[in-house]
Each structure stands twice: as structure tokens, then as C-alpha cells.
Chains A and B, each alone.
Chain A
């Protein structure tokens, strides 16, 4: 029952499907470079996954309080005090590019 219903939601009319331009935008937001060929592949597979997700619309959820966390507990607070020790050298030892204690990246301000 479950499997049939989910497969049927991959609709041939492509109601929820994405086009190449959508995927270009999403990939940019996600900071992922995609080749032309990859664009086609992802356009297809992402649309298929959205078809699965569309199954959610079968249920009316008006008025239901969203559940962000499995136990509905609020995050605990702690004293605003310094607990971390300085471990810069240790952490920067595994960085791709550092100099004088700074992480190096391409120039962002001209």
C-alpha cells in the first residue's frame, strides 16, 4: 500500500518537477558547481524526489503546531563565560592555507 502510493506520486505531468534554470539557481545557492551534463541528471533526479515529497500534501495540516525537535524541549542556557582554551595552532595545522595565524582565501575586498 505504502510503496504503491509513493510510486504513483511520481507524476508524469511533472507538476512538481524542476527545470534546468531552477537547478542552476539551487546549485548556486548551495555553492555547487555543476557541469552541463550533471544539470540534466540532477534536474531529473531532483524532480523525482520532489514527486515523493509531494505525498505530504495528501494531509491537511492546518492549525498543527510544527515540531522542530523530537522532544519539544527548549535549549538549556549556560553562564556567559569563557570555557574554551586557545587551540589555534592545533586547529590551523589541518587548514588548507594559513599565514600568521590567519586563514587564507582569495581576495574579497579590492
Chain B
């Protein structure tokens, strides 16, 4: 039964001593073993997890527990974890035992959370289906012939199948929200700067942001409380005050102004997804919200703009993988350049190579203005659209993804079709805003549909409040895939 409980519930059990962290952690470790077929995890270190659980039990005994003490959390394998394999889904880091903890990991450990394991992901977070992972694709627990979404696919599948009470993810163009939608869980991408990027392996530094992937908005608030805050080690970390996100969860939604961008409901949106989202918006009307029709006229430029900026930043960030200081080095090579070229050819997968080359091209002499500068100008137009609509409303709502989870292998031969999965999520990253995906129902095949809610800068408290009130009157977030119940 323990696996059906949220962080909030498990935390209560631990406090009442009806179970120990060691029992809980061992229970989840057994479930992970039992459901290995999902391929949700890359690394599980049973001994290390149980050692941390024992330490957490001591903290609880001594009355020093926080809301996360003793709670096992699955960590996306993008976060450096001291003494543990950290692969980022890539062959090039297949031997990388991190010598330090990412700030996010350090903060969660500080709060007493247990590192349950490292979850599978698209290689370097580049993908929307988890199929670019060197460690094989993750299966969607709602239908194992389908993808879990990506790039945080392992974290989403693990949470959905309750192979962890909750997980962490990262979102550069939709990588928390889209897999959360595909797997029927709650996934929050905080504002850029809210959660430290230190020790989080870089993909596109002006877009990357870490966030919680949970069973409920309440759990997301509990996790974000521990994750968020200024970090001297991240040059773009924000110093803005971090509220207690759990305190405002129950605020009344009477008079809340919900903006519906017409561009999010146009052609290309699956009709079943559309009707689920419309029904969810209906629930909000019952809760006293007002609906405002708005427009984000440049949002159709977000995907092309993103596929210049993200690869450009990636081509720079990934130049560090050269086989010199850590990670894989080719077995045989001639001179230094040959060593670089062979190491990178052998260590990176197809999608990563594609993006490195697109980025290299966009930044190369003679093309910089036409691509990189142009994309940065469009980024401003896209961000300003949001600034304007937020004068008329408090949050925006729409679908997280244009479809529900697709079949494994369906889009692997067509990168552009894969990229279009993120048409509703990418603009949020370009603007740096917070966004959350909340389970809102199912399509006729029984696949989960996500409702995306977008907020103003650093207004995560409002997003979590808006999501939580919906979860008080609906039970979509409590549904579990049958085989894993």
C-alpha cells in the first residue's frame, strides 16, 4: 500500500512511526526490481540508498525531520551525484562517477531525502520520447508499447508506476511537462533562475531549469520548497525570496483570470486532447475563475527559434566532452584532433550529433546573424507576447502536448515531427516563465492528458495553488496504471 501514497502521506507515516525510511526505501527498491521492464532507472545503488535511509531514521528519532526526511526520491540522471554513476543518458559519460553533488542533490540530501536511484532520460536531455537514451527507451506504464515522453521519461514513468513516490526532472523545452502529461503525473518547470543549475549537466544554459515530478501539486510544493533558492555557484541563480509553497495551496480561486491563448487550440491539436482540456477549464469556471481569450501571435515561431538557440548553446556546452579529463576516450586514435573526433563520434548518439552540428552551423562565421541573432530577436518577441497577455490575466491554460503518448519508434526517423511535440511548451522556456502540467483526464485509449498552466515570473506559488484546487475537486491525479497499482 505504501506505494500508493504521496510524499505528504508518507511523511505523516514516518512522523507517526508507522513505518521507517528503511522499510519504505527497501519497498521501493523491490518495486524497481520487480518492474525492471519499464527501464525507468539507469542506476540503482541499494546499499547507498539504505544507508541514507538509516541516517534519515536517526534524524526522525531525534526529532529533526523535515517534510522530506526519509522520503526516497528518484533523481534524473542529469544531476551529478557524488560517488554515483551519472551518465546523462549518454555513452560518453558511461564511466563517469561524479566527484561532487549538484546543488539540487545536496539540498535534498540536507533535507533528509534518500537518493533512490538515477532515472533514464534522453541523451543530454535532447529528445521528447526517451528514445535517444544510450541505455534504451523507457516504456510508458499506461501502455508499454508507447513512449513515456522526454526527456525526463524515466522520472515520469517511475512516478506514474510508483517506483518512487516522486522524482526530479529538468525542462529545457518541455522535458518535465510533456512526460508528466504522457504519464499522468504532475510536473512543474519553475521560473528560470529559481532552482540552481550547479551540477546539473548543461544542455542549453539559458533555458535549462530543474523541477519536481510528483503525484500531486501538494507534493510538488513540498519538493520545490527544498529545491529552490539562491545558489552562489550558479551565476544565473535568482536572489528573489522563496515563499513556503505549501502555505498558499488552498487559496480561493474566485475571480482568478485564466487566459486561453487561441494559438494553443488551433489546428494540429488532437480533438480528444482538446475536449479533455476544455472540460478541465469548465471545472475552473465552477471554482469561480473567469475566462479571458488572449493571443500569443508569435508563438508559432517558438519551435524554429528554439532549434537555433538550444543547439547553439548545446554545441558550446558539449565541447567539454573531449576525452581528456573525464568520461569516455576512444580506444585507438592518432593525433589530438583525431582523438577528439573519434571520442565524440563513439560517445555521442545520433540526435546529439545532429544538434551539435546544427548549433555549430548556426554559430559559424557568416551565419551568426542569420540564425543566432535572428533567433534571439524572435525570443524577445515571444517573451513580450507573454508580458502583454499577463496584463489581462493571472495564468494561461492550454494543452501540454498536442497528442497523448505515441508508439515507440513512431517518430524516431523524423526529427522534425519529434520536435513538434513541444509546440506548446517551448515558448515558456524561451520566456523563462514557470509552467506546470496537471493530469486532466484520459483519451479514448485510456492514455493520460495533461493540462498546462503557465504563470508569471516567479509565480510558482500561484501555479501550485491553481493546480491544487483542481486536484481537490478531481481525482485524475490519483489514477494509476492497473498493472502497477
- Is B326 a contact of A56 with CB atoms below 8 Å? no
A53 & B304 in contact (Cβ 8 Å cutoff)? yes
Measured CB to CB, the closest approach of chain A to B273, in angstroms, equals 14
Name the one of B96, B266, B358 contacting A1, with C-beta atoms under 8 angstroms.
B266
The smallest C-beta distance from B37 to any residue of chain A, in angstroms, reads: 31
* Bound CA span A73–B307, Å: 23
Q: In the complex, A93→B298 CA distance in Å?
A: 49
Contacts of A82 in B (CB 8 A): none
Identify A3's interface contact among B305, B327, B420, CB under 8 A.
Answer: B420
Determine the chain A residues whose CB is within 8 A of the CB of B375 once the complex forms.
Answer: 56
Q: Is the CB of B335 within 8 A of A52?
A: no
Considering the chains assembled together, what is the distance between the CA atoms of A9 and B326 in angstroms? 41
Pick the residue among A1, A29, A73 that contacts B360 (CB under 8 A). Answer: A29
**B268 and A94 contact, CB distance less than 8 A:** no
Instruction: Flag whether B97 is at the interface (Cβ < 8 A).
Output: yes
Q: State in angstroms the CA–CA spacing of A57 and B420 once bound together.
A: 18
Query: Nearest Cβ in chain B — how far from A31, in angstroms?
Result: 4
Residues of A within 8 A of B339 (CB): 105-106
For B371, list chain A residues within 8 Å (CB).
Answer: 53
Contact A33 B345 (CB under 8 A): yes
Inter-chain CA distance A92–B341, complex, in Å, is: 22
Q: Chain B nearest CB: distance from A92 CB in Å?
A: 8
Distance, CA A10 to CA B415, complexed state (A): 12
- Near A by CB (< 8 A), chain B positions 386-426 give 402, 415-416, 419-420, 423
Q: How far is the CA of A49 from the CA of B315 in the complex (A)?
A: 16
Asked if A49 meets B307 with Cβ closer than 8 Å, knowing A61-B377, A105-B324, the reply is yes
Interface size of A by CB at 8 A reads: 60
**How many CB-defined contacts (below 8 Å) exist between A and B?**
188
**Which A residues are in CB contact (< 8 Å) with B193?**
70-71
Q: How far is the CB of B233 from chain A (nearest CB, A)?
A: 10
Chain A residues near B337 (CB, 8 Å)?
31
Q: Which residues of chain A are within 8 angstroms of B416 by Cβ–Cβ distance?
A: 6-7, 10, 48-49, 51-52
Bound form: Cα–Cα A33–B340 in Å: 9
Q: Which of A2, A78, A103 contacts B325 (CB 8 A)?
A: A103
Chain A residues with Cβ below 8 Å from B419 are: 49, 52
Chain B residues 146 to 188 lying within 8 A of chain A, measured CB to CB, are none
B329 at the A/B interface (Cβ < 8 Å)? yes
B333 in complex: contacting residue of A22, A29, A73, A106, CB < 8 Å: A106
Whole-angstrom CA separation of A106 from B340 in the bound complex:
10
Instruction: Name the contact of A59 in the complex, choosing from B301, B315, B432 (C-beta under 8 A).
Output: B301
Question: For residue A70, which residues in chain B have a CB less than 8 angstroms away from its CB?
Answer: 192-193, 206-207, 383, 429-432
CA distance A69 to B206 in the complex (A): 6
Task: Decide: B267 and A4 in contact? CB cutoff 8 A.
Answer: yes
Is B364 touching A26 in the complex (CB atoms < 8 A)?
Answer: yes
Query: In the complex the two chains form, is A68's CB within 8 Å of B354's CB?
Result: no
- Report the separation of the CA atoms of residues A29 and B362 in the bound assembly, to the nearest whole angstrom: 12
Q: Considering the complex, which residues of chain A in the window 44-101 have a beta carbon less than 8 Å from any beta carbon of chain B?
A: 45-46, 48-59, 61, 64-71, 73, 75-76, 78, 87, 90-91, 93-97
B interface residues with partner A (beta carbon < 8 Å):
95-97, 99, 192-193, 206-207, 232, 235-236, 238, 263, 266-268, 298-301, 303-305, 307-308, 315, 319, 322-329, 333-342, 344-345, 348, 353-354, 356-358, 360-362, 364, 371, 373-381, 383, 402, 415-416, 419-420, 423, 429-432, 457
Q: Could you list which residues of chain A lie within 8 angstroms of chain B, going by C-beta atoms? A: 1-7, 10, 18, 22-23, 26-27, 29-34, 42, 45-46, 48-59, 61, 64-71, 73, 75-76, 78, 87, 90-91, 93-97, 103, 105-108
Closest 4 CB pairs of A and B: A70-B432, A66-B376, A3-B268, A61-B377
Given contacts A53-B308, A75-B235, A91-B99, 13 further A-B contacts (CB under 8 A): A1-B263, A2-B300, A26-B357, A26-B360, A29-B360, A32-B353, A46-B357, A49-B307, A52-B419, A56-B308, A64-B380, A66-B380, A70-B192
27 contacts between A and B (CB under 8 A): A1-B263, A3-B267, A3-B268, A5-B300, A6-B416, A10-B416, A31-B322, A31-B341, A33-B342, A42-B354, A46-B358, A49-B416, A52-B416, A53-B308, A53-B362, A56-B305, A56-B374, A56-B378, A64-B377, A67-B376, A70-B193, A70-B430, A78-B232, A96-B326, A105-B324, A105-B339, A106-B339
